[in-house]
Amino acid sequence: MTGTPGTAGTPGDAERGRLLLADDDDDVASAYARAFTAHGFAVSRARDGHQAIAIARSLPALAAAVVDLVLPGVGGLDVVRAIRQRHPACRIVAVTGLGQPVTERLFRESGADVFLAKPVELNALLEAVAPPG
């Protein structure tokens, strides 16, 4: 990781913009971060919900976010709401191992654009963070 704490990869003006990755699983987050960086995103990593909200609030722009449902501190639903409030145009992808229909509905009501059940293939995740169209 390079740059300030919570950031990895390329500088803040990366080709595809800044992506917030909120996941407390270090192995999963590292794999995701490498893939996003390789595809032109500057990645900011949060290991808990409080850190994710703080990072989102501190950034002037956020192109995309990948948020796990189960995070220490503040849960993923509240993180999604905070991101949506601060960055209305951000593409938010919710991921969780709890792939029940009620979970997807709650995430979408909170402001997520896409819902993916774990395990998530990297190609599916990269497609999910891309703006529609």
Give the helix ranges, DSSP H, for the chain. Answer: 26-38, 49-58, 76-86, 101-110, 122-129
pLDDT at 99: 66
Q: Give me the domain span that covers residue 65.
A: 7-129
Check: CB of residue 67 under 8 Å from CB of residue 83: yes
Rounded Cα gap, residues 39 and 57, in angstroms: 24
CATH number of 58's domain: 3.40.50.2300
Q: Is residue 1 part of a domain?
A: no
Residue 101 pLDDT > 80: no
Residue 9's pLDDT band, with cuts at 50, 70 and 90, is very low
pTM: 0.87
DSSP letter, residue 121: -
The pLDDT tens digits for 30-65 are: 999 999 999 999 999 999 999 999 999 999 999 999
Q: What is the count of structural domains for the chain?
A: 1
Check: CB of residue 95 under 8 Å from CB of residue 66: yes
Query: What token pair was written down for 44?
Result: 């900011």
